[in-house]
Amino acid sequence: MSALLAQSPSDGYLLPGFRSAAMPDMLVGRGAMEVASPADLFGPLLVEVQLGRLFADGKTFVDAVPVREPGQIRDAFAFLPADEASLRGFVAENFTLPAPARVHGAHGERDLRRYLRSTWADLCRETVTPNAGGSLLPVAGVHPVPGGRFAELYYWDSYFTMLGLIRDGFEQVAASTVDAFAELLETYGRIPNGTRSYYLSRSQPPIYFAMLGLVPDARPATRRRRLDALLIEHAFWMDGAADTGPGESAKRAVRMPDGAVLNRYWDDRATPRDESYWEDFRTADQSGRSPGEVYRALRAGAESGWDFSSRWFAEGEGLESIRTTQVVPVDLNACLYGMERTIAEVADGLCDDAVARRFDGLARRRRAAIHHWLWHDAGYFCDFDTDTGERRAQLTAATLMPLFTGVATRMQATRVARVTADSLLAAGGLRTTLIETGEQWDWPNGWAPLQWIAFAGLRRYGHRRLAHAIAARWVGTVDAEFRRSGWIHEKYDVERGTGGGGGEYVPQIGFGWTNGVTVSFMDLLGIGSGEGPARFPAQMAETDR
């Protein structure tokens, strides 16, 4: 056994020393199927590959497809000499590595809108039928992928990508994606972070309810299926809530001191992420904390979509202090309010009065709890710290999610608009946070989904000038970088107007949600007609501060 393997952590599903032990090909959870992840299937082989950094990107190995039965590979690995050359040869012999990331090829296009329209063919995939032993999950129907290293279906990315697909006439792809998510809920009891087995232990911001509004379908059978899917998803997020007392938490449910139930991010495992094993191992090792606690917090941070951000850190500290599971996030709870309202409305339309009444009550109680626990006296929505029992004072773009889902009052929306204009609006769009940590979900980066959430939320409450200023500045940033490099990025530096940076992997180009949000902004505001730089009225950069 190598020295690296001897150092590897375990919580029982990844067992150092089992080189010849039998491993399950399927793990069956409570009523929902869980496919074994690469760590389950290959244990110490994965540890040695990832901690030995055989590949610069840890996602490479876990996306590889074995060329023979996993059990045979494990048995052969038990006798492999412990040196890098042997390990590299063994992996090459036993796995087919993923193809290089697909990106839109070289082009001479100068018009941003026309270019975005041309990218959809490269960002959509046909029905996926996985190879045996690989980590890819089956997906029926045409669906979008983000781009770059993200070559599978992702949860919250897809909503923002669908905005653009619909704008460009691909409504059937959007509808097919909604159906694919319903099937994931029916199969696994959740929508995983992405359609890989190593993502099944967590989800992402629950925005499926909002996707339904993009592709309405009046057929009773379709509406019933969608309602049933929403009920499955709600049960996933609320699992364990009934067993908690005031001040207690269970999985993703948090019982607040007054008995109200809110939610947090979580992950069903407390081990290094398969796809970021080396990074997580290093973070835990440097933290001086219980490794399992750190791993769970990192995984929960990945479930949040904000991976990673100062939102999840101890005040003034970095990634090693991550404590996501001690934070009650306002954006998550605003999404769950939207889910509960949608369930009540769909059930009412189907004359399912019992479900409609129940979820109307749940939504009302969540709204009251958000107003009580997640509103800061300084005039914005915030997160809550279960360890300190206090609201977290940090202002972030998450403050706009309650406007997006309609949970804010008019007064609250006005105050959020004011603080957004004063503090979150940058020259190139909406800031994510006001803290620079080197993490990708912190200053100076801006992200397409947060621009759209802010835009739609502000417009919902009548703050159109500020909403349009955010959109116009974002389009200007995307267009300037497109003219400079020819690429569309997953994130942008909204202070300098360039591609963003930070995080644990190379910034990706492609890119699904940037394309979808930017297309929607350009069409809604009439920005960018003709060749060359996007054109928009100067007054769109003004705000109603």
Residue positions annotated with a catalytic role: 307, 490
CB 251 within 8 A of CB 261: no
**Consecutive H or E run containing 478:** helix 464-485
Report how far residue 324's alpha carbon sits from residue 276's, in angstroms, rounded to the nearest whole number: 17
Phi, psi of 47 (to 5 degrees): -60, -45
Q: Count the alpha carbons within 13 Å of 269 in the hemisphere toward its beta carbon.
A: 26
Q: Count the alpha carbons within 13 Å of 92 in the hemisphere toward its beta carbon.
A: 7
Tokens 């709870």 -> residue: 333
Beta bridge mates, 139 = 128
**Consecutive H or E run containing 41:** helix 38-51
Q: Which amino acid is at 351?
A: C
CB 541 within 8 A of CB 469: yes
Report how far residue 397's alpha carbon sits from residue 451's, in angstroms, rounded to the nearest whole number: 9
Angle at 470 between CA 495 and CA 422, to 5 degrees: 70
**379: nearest Cα among 434, 336, 440, 420:** 420
The widest CA-to-CA distance across the chain, in whole angstroms, is 70
Tokens of 229: 């899917």
247: Cα separation from own chain's centroid: 27
Tokens 């005040």 -> residue: 315
Is the dihedral angle over the CA atoms 156, 160, 165, 167 positive or is it negative?
positive
Give CA torsion, residues 167, 172, 177, 183, to 10 deg: 160
Report how far residue 133's alpha carbon sits from residue 131's, in angstroms, rounded to the nearest whole number: 6
**4: nearest Cα among 16, 15, 21, 13:** 16
Q: Which ranges of 203-325 would DSSP assign to H, the alpha helix?
A: 208-214, 220-238, 277-287, 291-304
Phi, psi of 75 (to 5 degrees): -65, -40
Is the dihedral angle over the CA atoms 7, 11, 16, 17 positive or is it negative?
positive
Calculate the alpha carbon distances from 256 to 9, 114, 122, 243, 250 in Å. Answer: 33, 50, 46, 13, 12
- Pairing mode of beta strands 390-391, 261-263: unpaired
